[in-house]
Every structure is written in C-alpha cells, then in structure tokens.
Amino acid sequence: MAILALLQYYRLRIFVFFIRLLLIKRGPIPVAPDNVLQIPSRDQNRTIKAHIYRPIKAKTPSPVLINLHGSGFVLPVHGEDDFYCRYVSNNSTYTVFDVQYRLAPENPFPAPLHDVEDVVRYIQSRPDEYDASQMSIGGFSAGANLSLSASSMMLPRDTFRSVIAFYPPAEMAGLPENKTPPDASGHRIPPFLARTFDSAYFQNTDPCDPRISPFYAPAEQFPASMYIVTPAQDYLADEGAELAGRIRREGGGKYVLHKRVEGCGHGWDKHPKKGSHEERMREEAYQMAVEILKR
C-alpha cells in the first residue's frame, strides 16, 4: 500500500515537472503590484509571498481581500490575476493580498489551506493597517475551491464577510469524465488532466472530506455573502450552481449571488481579446465582485 502510494506520488511529480517546464518556456508572468510581502509561515525559515495591491481610495485600517489564483493545485502561475487584483483595488477600498500558496504534489492538502490561515493571522495581527472585521476571500478555479474550503471549514465562522468563487471545482468525488458543461460548444479541460491535478491535491485524503470538498460542508458555515461565477462552457458549472443553490436554500438567509456567464469557458477572463464578448463578460463579472465586497 505504502509502495503504491509512493509510486503514484513519483508519477505525479514527473508529470507535473513536464507541465511546469512548458510554463517556464512562456516566461515570467507580468505583474505590477504596489509591493511584495513575505509573510511568516508556521514552518520555520519559510515565508509566504503575497503581491499587495493598494486601493486608490484608501481607508485606514483597510478592508482586505485575499485572492488565490487558479492552478489546478499544481501550476505555479501566481500573478495571473494581476488585472483582477488591480481592478478590485482601483474600484473599492480593499487592499488585495494575492497569495502564492504552496502547490501539490509536493504540498498536498492541507498545505495551501495552512498558508491561507497564516496569512489571515498576519492580517489579524496588524489592526492599525488592516480591518480584519472586513476581510473577504476569493479566487479562481482551484483557488476558488481553496477559498470555499478555508471560509467554511478551516477558519472560524465570520472570519470572512464574503467569499468570491470564480469557476470552482466543488465536488471532487465525481469523475471529471462523467461531468458535462451546460453548453458543450467550447473546448474542455481533458478529464485525465483534471483527475491528475485533483489527485495531486488530495493524494491520500478522502475527497469527500468536507475540508477538501466544500460541497459537503454544512451550508450555515459559509460567509454571510457569496458570489459564485460559472461559465456555461465549463464542465464544473453544474456543481458550482448546485453549491450556490444549496447554500441559498439551507444557509439560513445568506446572500448568495450566482452568475452564469454565457458563451464562455473555464478561465475565460484571463487575457480576453480587446472588444470581445469575453472582455465584456469579464467587466460584468468583476464589477459584481466589487459590488459584493461593498455590501
């Protein structure tokens, strides 16, 4: 059993090594945060990098949005949400922490969630700078999944005012090949890739564990407001919509906003062409994120 797990682990390591190599060839991701923080981790001699985006209309102490990028839990693409983070800090009083959480398979569940906890502690320990009573969390894809887990299962209830989840995988126990998008006209993530990435994250933990699958977390544990965005061409759209519906029904009066984005797929908002449908949908979806933060 232990040998099988070890073989599986090295298979993942090798696979992910090659995928990351492809990313390195694309070169560094251009980013323009206001500054870069190294936040102390619970592990000795380790810090967690965060890009900080400061609001134009600053308020002291500042409300905070923690953002977690998409990664399939394994891809080192921190910085990919630069536009979004700046959009939020431009249009609200929120300081955005874009956090470089640890990646699988080297650091499976719960490592990235521990990083989020450590960042939350850091923010809470600086009341002169940050207003921890106005802290929200959100992210994209795997980062959205981590935001849902962190806000419902890892940190005390009411740590976050709202959670923002762009195209989250919400239900890990189901097989990707058995899931279909509401609109099948787009291209889809190959199921084997999704499966490999998911298993890199939860490795030997039960995917039905509610800390991994927020889908199974009690509805009342989520923050008071939620914004879930599901692009219609994404095979994860149904589970995102279902999660939103369940929390609306069972959450005891939480504000749940579900936005279905027609004609777009997973990750549609990264680098849309100028003047395209995708760009207009990005503006709409991001504007609603700002509205949720202002609630």
Ligand X SMILES: *[C@@H]1O[C@H](CO)[C@@H](O)[C@H](O)[C@H]1NC(C)=O
* Cβ-contact 94, 86 below 8 angstroms: no
- Using the minimum distance from each CB to ligand X, give the nearer residue, 64 or 148: 148
List interacting residues with ligand X (CB under 6 A).
44-45, 83, 86-87, 90-91, 145, 148-149, 168-173, 198, 207, 212-215, 287, 290
Selection from 30, 37, 104, 108 nearest residue 66 by Cα: 37
78 vs 179 by CB, closer to ligand X: 179
Q: Which is nearer to ligand X, 61 or 207 (CB)?
A: 207
Taking the complex as a whole, the smallest distance from the CB of residue 127 to ligand X amounts, in Å, to 27
Closest approach, Cβ 210 to ligand X, in A, equals 8
Whole-number minimum distance, CB 212 to ligand X, in Å? Answer: 5
Tell me which residue of 179, 219, 222 sits closest to 198, measured CA to CA.
Answer: 179
**Smaller CB distance to ligand X: residue 127 or 220?**
220
Closer by beta carbon to ligand X, 19 or else 154: 154
Strand order in the sheet with 225-231: 35-40, 47-53, 95-99, 62-68, 130-140, 162-166, 225-231, 255-261
Closest separation between CB of residue 162 and ligand X, Å?
Answer: 15
Instruction: Supply the minimum distance, in Å, between the C-beta of residue 201 and ligand X.
Output: 7
CB 278 within 8 A of CB 286: no
How near is the Cβ of 287 to ligand X at its closest, in Å?
A: 4
Nearer to ligand X (CB atom), residue 158 or residue 206: 206
